[in-house]
Amino acid sequence: MLSDNDSSWVAHRMYDSINIIEAERLRPTVLYKPRLYPDGDKWCALLGENIQEGIAGFGKSPDLATREFDKAWYEEIKSD
Query: Within its chain, how far is the Cα of 2 from the centroid?
Result: 36
Q: Residue 34 pLDDT > 90, yes or no?
A: yes
| pLDDT (tens digit per residue) in 13-32 | 999 999 899 989 999 999 99
Structural contact between residues 36 and 62, judged by C-beta atoms closer than 8 angstroms: yes
What integer pLDDT is reported at residue 18 of this predicted model? Answer: 93
For the chain, give every domain's residue range. 4-74
pTM of the model: 0.79
